[in-house]
Amino acid sequence: MNPRNHLVFLMISLTIFTFSSSQNISFHFQSLSLRNLTLLGDSYLRNGVVGLTRESGVPSSSSGTVIYNNPIPFFDPTTNSTASFSTKFSFTVNNVNREASSFGDGLSFFISPDPETLGSPGGYLGLVNSSQLTKNKFVAIEFDTRLDLHFNDPNDNHIGLDIDSLSSIKTADCTSIGIDLKSENLITAWIDYWNDLKNLKVFLSDSGYKPANPLLEVDTDLSGFFQEFMYLGFSASTEGSTETHFIENWSFTSFGIRHLDPRIHNPHNVSDNTVSKNPTIGVPEDDRNNNNHHKKIGLTIGILGPVFFCGVLVVFGYISFKKWNRVKTDMNIQAELLTGPKQFSYKELKTATNGFHSSRIIGNGAFGSVYKAHLASSGTTAAVKRSKHSHEGKTEFLAELSIIACLRHKNLVPLQGWCVEKGELLLVYEYMPYGSIDKVLYQDSEHWSFLKWSHRYNIATGLASVLTYLHQECEQQVIHRDIKASNVMLDANFKARLGDFGLARLMDHDKSPVSTLTAGTMGYLAPEYLQYGKATDKTDVFSYGVVVLEVCCGRRPIERETDGHKMINLVDWVWELHSKGAICDAVDKRLNNEFDLEEVRKLLEVGLSCANPDSEKRPSMRRVFQILNNEAEEIKVPKAKPMLSFSSSLPLSLEDIVSSSEGEEEEEEASRMVPEISIDRSQV
């Protein structure tokens, strides 16, 4: 059957389903819209995703709520029946300043009779007013990210059932199933309540698939808490924290409320005791029983027949549509890549990763995991990046594949192939045995000692070479937007290989930069990019400078002092040593003085010149590459770090920013990366 017929079947089935099950309520939002939702407090909508709390680089207090506009029937007083329900939603708990370990407090899904539920910040989760603890009525599932002994929390990573109070009736530890609510991964929750069984179950997963067993199960009767109509929503809060909370999709179904059938329960019908026991025209008892029996059979067939037929149509239409949509997507992607890298089969990659077993995971990114794979066809080892089943995951996959498939450079992580099959989005890269610079410098004590000075200098040179290629030698300029130590891989010879192009953008060489939502990782972001959201080659240069300083010094861009009280910015720390004429003191002490002092000075000064707050004073990557190869004169670095002042002529209003970024909605969609940050410039 062709796709058009599939769609016809789907439309018919959906129409019939709507009329045949009007007593039930169901909705599905793949992306969220103000047409269906009401935002309260600090909540906001951006690109189909609801942010519940304020985004801020400094600790603050915030609470926000989003509520579905239409009341949902939960109780029928006529039949004394209560609804059962099932809901599914995906959320992320991010942190604008993760280095500061500023977490808390969490979010909740709630059902309330109040269409304007909004509570206080902090441990009140936006559900309860701190001055009127018993005012708000609700049934809620909390996803708590802070230990609050006032509410008898078991830890800072749990879920719980709350009824009119934030002291949970029952809790469950998310760590027991390997989930960290603060991991910045996309987490999906399923909540099922069966009124007939008086049972509520909560399932949690970061893979997109519903687990077989619930994380939280409570035997409870909620009928006493449900009014005739209730409102659904989400709330979240922070207190002295930079934690942020996002709801990315949501579906809900209620069922089980019984209504009186007017054909049977009609007040004008004659009751049984008014019928004459001796009618004039007698009807034989057997015939009467047979007639009643036939009527019951006919009524049963008349009701169940259409219902069964409609059910078959719905299932067939849904399966056909999903299959047609998946085939269409696969064909569109495949058509664009016929001349590109190799297309792998899903079966081959599943076998190569042992069924995508958790023991094969060698890395986790914003939109998926990376698995070590043994390819039987070539006898080689590869790294398979598996995108998550989300809109952002698909956006990143297409962005990364469309850009890197056309690039060829010795300092790029080579793309070997791809797979779009069975709803999976897979990229196959050459395996990098030493992982990322971040891993070697800070995690893998077995290998950092092998990272000699010559290796570090070559890493900086190789990274400068590939950025020169991306910025100036490609047909279109490639702005990476996420250069950091964890995205620079090391091959078997400790040579730098730049990877992860999920945030990258193509731009004509003579085109002015556009404003988008700021994306990247705190500590590597240029100040003008944070302020105006304009990604250019100079913002990549800034990030490169931070990575160079990181490689030289063996220190993270932002880290806590040994006494644990103060955060140190790497650029500021190196610049302070430079102002004292002691810049070489910044070199990694683990090198044990086994380095070329002149090269150390040169590389540290190159790092500072690239990390100059004034973008106009930063060198091009071609100039950096020439300096490191002794082909150009070095750049004089000022003794004191330049102070940065932003021009008032640049667009600061929301209207100007939106105008300058018109037509770039797809870029903004892909910028909500984790652990990357997204900054609402309307707050600037």
Apex 554 CA angle, 551 and 557, nearest 5: 80
**Whether pLDDT at 524 is above 70:** yes
List the one residue out of 33, 141, 166, 13 whose CA is nearest residue 88.
Answer: 141
Are 533 and 516 contacting, i.e. CB atoms less than 8 angstroms apart? yes
pLDDT at 264: 36
CATH number of the domain located at residue range(s) 32-255 in this protein: 2.60.120.200
Residue 408 vs residue 132, higher pLDDT:
408
pLDDT at 311: 72
**Whether pLDDT at 254 is above 80:** yes
Active-site residues: which are they? 482
Phi, psi of 13 (to 5 degrees): -65, -40
Lowest mean pLDDT among 2-11, 446-455, 611-620: 2-11
Task: Assign 658 a pLDDT band (cuts: 50, 70, 90).
Answer: very low
pLDDT at 297: 55
pLDDT at 608: 96
pLDDT at 246: 95
The pair of three-digit structure tokens given for residue 95, joined into one six-digit string: 């942190």
pLDDT at 424: 85
**Whether pLDDT at 596 is above 60:** yes
Residue located via tokens 């066809």: 377
Q: Where are the beta strands (DSSP E) in 195-336?
A: 199-205, 216-219, 229-241, 243-255
Q: What is the rounded CA–CA span in Å between residue 445 and residue 463?
A: 23
Q: What is the rounded CA–CA span in Å between residue 360 and residue 354?
A: 8
Rounded to an integer, the average pLDDT of 427-432 is: 91
The pair of three-digit structure tokens given for residue 179, joined into one six-digit string: 């989930």
Condensed to tens digits (0 to 9), the pLDDT of residues 363-416 reads: 876 567 899 999 988 888 999 998 876 556 676 777 677 787 778 899 999 888
Domain boundaries, the chain: 32-255, 342-430, 437-571+602-676
Q: What is the rounded CA–CA span in Å between residue 597 and residue 581?
A: 14
Residues 437-571+602-676: name the CATH superfamily.
Answer: Transferase(Phosphotransferase) domain 1 (1.10.510.10)
**Whether pLDDT at 261 is above 90:** no
Residue 533 vs residue 21, higher pLDDT:
533
pLDDT at 580: 94
Apex 62 CA angle, 57 and 65, nearest 5: 125
Condensed to tens digits (0 to 9), the pLDDT of residues 138-176 reads: 999 999 999 888 888 899 999 999 999 989 999 999 999
Are 495 and 456 contacting, i.e. CB atoms less than 8 angstroms apart? no
Are 371 and 353 contacting, i.e. CB atoms less than 8 angstroms apart? yes
Q: What is the rounded CA–CA span in Å between residue 419 and residue 330?
A: 9
Apex 336 CA angle, 330 and 339, nearest 5: 115
Fold match between domain 32-255 and domain 342-430: no
Lowest mean pLDDT among 138-147, 163-172, 427-436, 496-505: 496-505
pLDDT at 10: 43
Rounded to an integer, the average pLDDT of 89-103 is: 80
pLDDT at 79: 85
Task: Assign 14 a pLDDT band (cuts: 50, 70, 90).
Answer: very low
pLDDT at 330: 52
Are 491 and 434 contacting, i.e. CB atoms less than 8 angstroms apart? yes
DSSP H helical ranges for 129-192: none
**Whether pLDDT at 657 is above 60:** no
Q: What is the rounded CA–CA span in Å between residue 260 and residue 583?
A: 84
Are 51 and 27 contacting, i.e. CB atoms less than 8 angstroms apart? no
Q: What is the rounded CA–CA span in Å between residue 601 and residue 584?
A: 6
Give the helix/strand (H/E) hosting 38. strand 37-41
Lowest mean pLDDT among 354-358, 498-502, 618-622: 498-502
Task: Round the CA-based radius of gyration of the chain to a whole number and report it.
Answer: 30
| Fold of the domain spanning 342-430 | Phosphorylase Kinase; domain 1 (3.30.200)
Half-sphere exposure of 631 (CA within 13 A, CB side): 8
Q: What is the rounded CA–CA span in Å between residue 412 and residue 406?
A: 12
Residue 197 vs residue 306, higher pLDDT:
197
pLDDT at 133: 73
**Whether pLDDT at 248 is above 50:** yes
pLDDT at 448: 58
Condensed to tens digits (0 to 9), the pLDDT of residues 300-313 reads: 555 666 666 677 66
pLDDT at 9: 42
Rounded to an integer, the average pLDDT of 229-243 is: 91
pLDDT at 390: 58
